[in-house]
C-alpha cells in the first residue's frame, strides 16, 4: 500500500510507502523511516496530555548527563579562542538543561513552543523565546551553533528546518542534531515485538498519541543526504546513552495512558537488561553538520 503521492522522502525525494501501519512510512529507495502522525503542541498552555512533572523527573538525570557530555564535545569541536563566547541557539530547549550545560562557554538562547514548558524554563533563569523556529528570530540573527536536542524528529518539514538553519548560521557554523536512531537496538526490538503482535512498544517509540509524536527516524545516510541538500557537510557522528535507571519509572509513567503496574514492570525489565543494552547499537545518535565558510 502506497503513502499519499504528496509525501516524499526528505533524504532522497523518492516516494514514501506505507510501512507497518497506515501512519508508518518507509522510503522505497533509501533507509529513511517517517510517519504521518500529527504534531499538536500545547502552544497556549491550556491542556496537559502528559504528566509534565513526571516527565521532567524521568528525563532529568539522563538528559542532563548527556548534555554535559555534549557540551564538552561541542567546546572541543569549536575550540573557540580564549576569552570568546560563541553564540548558541537551542531549538525546542525544553527546561533549558542544554543551555545551562553550555553556559560556561557559550552565550545561549532557547526557543520553545510549548507554553507550559517555556514558562518553567524561564522561571529557571533561562533566556527563552516562546514560539517556533525560525519564526521568532530576526532575519539578521546569526549563531555559531544551532542545536536540536530530541527535537528534529518532531519537525514535519525537516528540509525547511535545515534550510532555515543555513540562513541563521554564521560561516562555518554547526548544526547539532541529537535524535533517536533508526539503527538503535530498542527500535529494532520494538519492530520485532510488533511483528509478534505486541504493538505497544513500537507505538511508544514513535510517541503515537503524544502531542508531539516522532515523524522521523534518521540514520547516518539520511542525515548526510538531508544536510547535503541544504549545503551542509556531515562532520561528525557520535552516540549517547538512551537509558538511565534513575528516573526510569517516571519516564515510562508520564504517559497518562500507562498504568502504574505496567510502568513498574517495564522499568524492572529494562533495569535488568540495561547492562546488555548498553553494549548494543545505540538508540541515540548525535550528528554534527558544518556550514560552508
Which residues, in sequence order, are CB contacts of 4 under 8 Å at separation 6+? none
Distance CA 90, CA 176 (A): 9
Tell me the average pLDDT across 172-195.
96
Residue 228: how many other CB atoms lie within 10 Å = 14
* Mean pLDDT on 168-182: 97
Q: pLDDT value at position 48?
A: 59
Q: What is the mean pLDDT of residues 247-266?
A: 70
pTM of the model: 0.88
Distance CA 9, CA 30 (A): 9
pLDDT band at residue 266, thresholds of 50, 70 and 90? confident
Where along the chain do the CATH 3.40.50.150 domains lie? Answer: 40-242+282-290
In tens, the pLDDT along 97-154 reads 999 999 999 999 999 998 888 998 999 899 999 999 999 999 999 999 999 999 999 9
Whether 278 has a pLDDT exceeding 50, the answer reads: yes
E strand or H helix at 95:
none
Quick one: pLDDT at residue 11?
97
Check if CATH label 3.30.420.40 holds for domain 40-242+282-290.
no
pLDDT at residue 262, as a whole number = 77
CA within 13 Å, CB half, 97: 20
**Please, which pLDDT band fits residue 2 given cuts at 50, 70 and 90?**
very low
Average of per-residue pLDDT values in the chain: 88
Strands 24-27 and 33-35: antiparallel
**How many helices (H) and strands (E) are present in the chain, helices listed first?**
9, 11
Amino acid at each position: 500500500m502506497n503513502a499519499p503521492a504528496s509525501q516524499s522522502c526528505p533524504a532522497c525525494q523518492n516516494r514514501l510507502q506505507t510501512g507497518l501501519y497506515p501512519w508508518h512510512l518507509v522510503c522505497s529507495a533509501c533507509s529513511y523511516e517517517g510517519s504521518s502522525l500529527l504534531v499538536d503542541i500545547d502552544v497556549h498552555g491550556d491542556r496537559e496530555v502528559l504528566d509534565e512533572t513526571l516527565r521532567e523527573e524521568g528525563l532529568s538525570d539522563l538528559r542532563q548527563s548527556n548534555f554535559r557530555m555534549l557540551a564538552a564535545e561541542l567546546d572541543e569541536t569549536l575550540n573557540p579562542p580564549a576569552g570568546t563566547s560563541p553564540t548558541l541557539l537551542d531549538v525546542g530547549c525544553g527546561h533549558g538543561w542544554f543551555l545551562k550545560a553550555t553556559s560556561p562557554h557559550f552565550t545561549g538562547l532557547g526557543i520553545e513552543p510549548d507554553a507550559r514548558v517555556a514558562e518553567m524554563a524561564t522561571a529557571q533563569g533561562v533566556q527563552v523565546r516562546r514560539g517556533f523556529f525560525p519564526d521568532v528570530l530576526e532575519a539578521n540573527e546569526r549563531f555559531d551553533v544551532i542545536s536540536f536536542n530530541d527535537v528534529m524528529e518532531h519537525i514535519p518539514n525537516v528540509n525547511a528546518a535545515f534550510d532555515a538553519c543555513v540562513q541563521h548560521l554564521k560561516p562555518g557554523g554547526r548544526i547539532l542534531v541529537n535524535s533517536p536512531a533508526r539503527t538503535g537496538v530498542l527500535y529494532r526490538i520494538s519492530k520485532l515485538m510488533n511483528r509478534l503482535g505486541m504493538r505497544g512498544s513500537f507505538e511508544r517509540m514513535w510517541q503515537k498519541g503524544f502531542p508531539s509524536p516522532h515523524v522521523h527516524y534518521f540514520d547516518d545516510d539520511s542525515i548526510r543526504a538531508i544536510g547535503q541538500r541544504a549545503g551542509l557537510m556531515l562532520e561528525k557522528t557520535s552516540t549517547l546513552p538512551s537509558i538511565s535507571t534513575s528516573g526510569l519509572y517516571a519516564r515510562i509513567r508520564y504517559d497518562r495512558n500507562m498504568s502504574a503496574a505496567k510502568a513498574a514492570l517495564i522499568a524492572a525489565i529494562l533495569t535488568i537488561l540495561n547492562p546488555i543494552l548498553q553494549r548494543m547499537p545505540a538508540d541515540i545518535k548525535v550528528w554534527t553538520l558544518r556550514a560552508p565558510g
